[in-house]
Amino acid sequence: MSVPISYPKDTVVSFTKDEIMFRESVREFAQKHIAPKWIEVDEEASKDPMKIPLDLIKKIADQGLLCIPCSDKYGGQGGTYTMATIAVEELAYADPAVALAVYTLLNNGWPFALQLFGREEVSQEVIPRVSKGEAFFGIASTEPQGGSDVAGIRMTAKKINNVYVFNGEKAYISGVGEVQVLPWGGGWFLIARTGEAGHRGLSAFAFLAKKNGVIGKGWYPTIYHDIGRHGLTTGGFKCENFELDKDYLIGEENKGFYYVMEGFNLARILVAAATVGGARWLLEQAVQWFRTRKLFGKYIASFEGISFRFAELYAKYEAARYFVYRASRLADKIYIEKDPAYNPRDLNIPVALAKMYGPELATELGQEVMKWYGAYAYTKESPIHRAWLGLFSYTIGAEGAQNIMRYIIARDLIGSEYMRD
C-alpha cells in the first residue's frame, strides 16, 4: 500500500514526458497486480522455492516490462535503459522483497548484453521468448570457490568440432528454477574457461540449459533455500559433458571477461534501482507508523532521535536515486544514442557508486524501520522483514560484492598501477 508523502519535485532526476507517462503506467500496473500479491508470493516460496509466481511473470511480460532496451527487431520493446530502470524501481516499490523486480531486471539487463555482443541469430532465438515470459535469461558467473574473483573461474568449455563441452560447477545462480519451469526454458550469459589461466582465458556463452522445452543432457541443477527474496529461485548446477553448439559463443573466444564486465555494469544500474524502489516502500512504512504511533503522550516522530535519523536516511535515499538515474542516463548515451563522446568505461564509477550506495542504504533503512516499529516488526505478521531480507541480498553481493564496488571506484580514480600488491 502506498502512503501519501509530499516528496520534493524531481529536479536533478528529471524525466521526459514519455518517461513520466511510462512511470505512471508501470506504477498503476504494479500497484494493481503485484502489490496485493507480494507477501503471499514471498510466504509461499519461503516454504517451497519452486512455488514460482508464473502468473505474475506472465503479467509482467504482457505489460511489456521485459527486454525493454532490446531492439524490436529481436522482439524487445525498443525502449531506453532509463525506461528499464524506471520499471524496476516501480516493481520493487510494489514488491519490496524484490523477487519480481529482480526477475525483471535480470531479463532486461542480460538479454540486452546478449544483443550487444552475441550472434544475431541467437538474439533472434532467445530474446523474443524472454520478452514473452516463456524463457529466463540471467547471468551465471559465480562458482563455489568464490564470486568476486571472476578471473579465477574454473568451469571449462572445450571446443570439440562444432560444439563446446562444459564441465564444472556454478553456484548461487538466480533463475535455476525458472529455467526448469518456464515453457521454453532459457539459461544464462555464462562465463567459462576456454583458454589460459586468468581473465584472458575466459569466454562468454548464451548457455541454454533448456530450449524448446527440453533440458540439455549433462546439466544437473540444485535449488537453495534462501533467507529472503523468495519468489525468485537461487540455485547451482553442475555440467558433466554438457554440449552447446559453437554458435552460442558470445563474441570472440577468450574475450568473455570484457563482455561480462560491461554486462555487469548494465545490470547493476537496475540492481540499484530495485534497492531504491524497495527503500521508498520502507520510507513510507516509517511515515505511516510515525503518523499513528504515540508514546509518552506524543507521536514518536516528536523524538528527534527518531525524526532526525529518518531525515538522514531520506537524504541517503535521494542520493541513491540520483546515482541510479545518472548511471541510466549515461547508459542511454553509450548504448542507445551511441553518442561518440562517451564509452563503456565511463560507466564504471557511476555504476559502482549506485550499486555500492543503493543496497547499503536499503539495508540500513530496513533495519531502522524494523526498530521504529518495535516488537511488531519481529513477528512474521509484519511484512517489513520480508523487504529487509530481500533487499539484503544485494548487500551480501548479488551482481557483485560491495567491496568490489569500492575497489572499482578507488581503482578508476587512483589508477590500478598504484593498487597492486
Ligand X SMILES: Cc1cc2nc3c(=O)[nH]c(=O)nc-3n(C[C@H](O)[C@H](O)[C@H](O)COP(=O)(O)OP(=O)(O)OC[C@H]3O[C@@H](n4cnc5c(N)ncnc54)[C@H](O)[C@@H]3O)c2cc1C
Which residues bind to ligand X, rule: CB under 6 A? 138-142, 146-148, 172-174, 226, 229, 234, 393, 396-404, 407
Smallest distance from the beta carbon of 393 to ligand X, in angstroms? 4
Distant-in-sequence, close-in-space partners of 18: CB < 8 Å, separation ≥ 6: none
Smallest distance from the beta carbon of 305 to ligand X, in angstroms? 31
348-353, Cβ contacts within 8 angstroms, sequence gap of 24 or more: 348/265, 348/408, 348/412, 349/408, 349/409, 349/412, 349/413, 350/323, 350/326, 351/265, 351/268, 351/269, 351/272, 351/327, 352/268, 352/405, 352/406, 352/408, 352/409, 353/323, 353/327, 353/405, 353/409
Instruction: Please report the beta strands in 212-355, taking only residues with DSSP state E, as ranges in sequence order.
Output: 214-215, 219-223, 234-245, 249-250, 294-295, 298-299
CB of 179 or CB of 384, closer to ligand X: 179
Smallest distance from the beta carbon of 268 to ligand X, in angstroms? 11
CB of 71 or CB of 367, closer to ligand X: 367
CB of 64 or CB of 263, closer to ligand X: 263
Smallest distance from the beta carbon of 149 to ligand X, in angstroms? 6
Q: Which three cell numbers stand for residue 371?
A: 526498530
Q: Which three cell numbers stand for residue 410?
A: 578507488
Q: Which three cell numbers stand for residue 266?
A: 548494465
Smallest distance from the beta carbon of 98 to ligand X, in angstroms? 10
* Residue in 275, 224, 173 with CA at minimum distance from that of residue 46: 224
CB of 64 or CB of 111, closer to ligand X: 111
CB of 133 or CB of 175, closer to ligand X: 175
Residues in the chain: 421
Smallest distance from the beta carbon of 311 to ligand X, in angstroms? 29
Neighbours of 409 (CB within 10 A): 17
CB of 179 or CB of 370, closer to ligand X: 179
Residue nearest to ligand X (CB): 147
Smallest distance from the beta carbon of 408 to ligand X, in angstroms? 10
CB of 197 or CB of 396, closer to ligand X: 396
CA dihedral (405, 396, 100, 129) positive or negative: positive
Q: Which three cell numbers stand for residue 173?
A: 545462480
CB of 105 or CB of 306, closer to ligand X: 105
Which DSSP category does 268 fall into?
A: H
CB of 171 or CB of 320, closer to ligand X: 171
Task: Encode 80-113: b = buried (16+ Cβ within 10 Å), e = exposed.
Answer: bbbbbbbbbbbbbbbbbbbbbbbbbbbbbbbbbb
Smallest distance from the beta carbon of 301 to ligand X, in angstroms? 34
Smallest distance from the beta carbon of 398 to ligand X, in angstroms? 4
Q: Which three cell numbers stand for residue 348?
A: 564504471
Helical packing angle, 99-117 and 120-131, nearest 10°: 160
Give residue for cell 524463457. 135
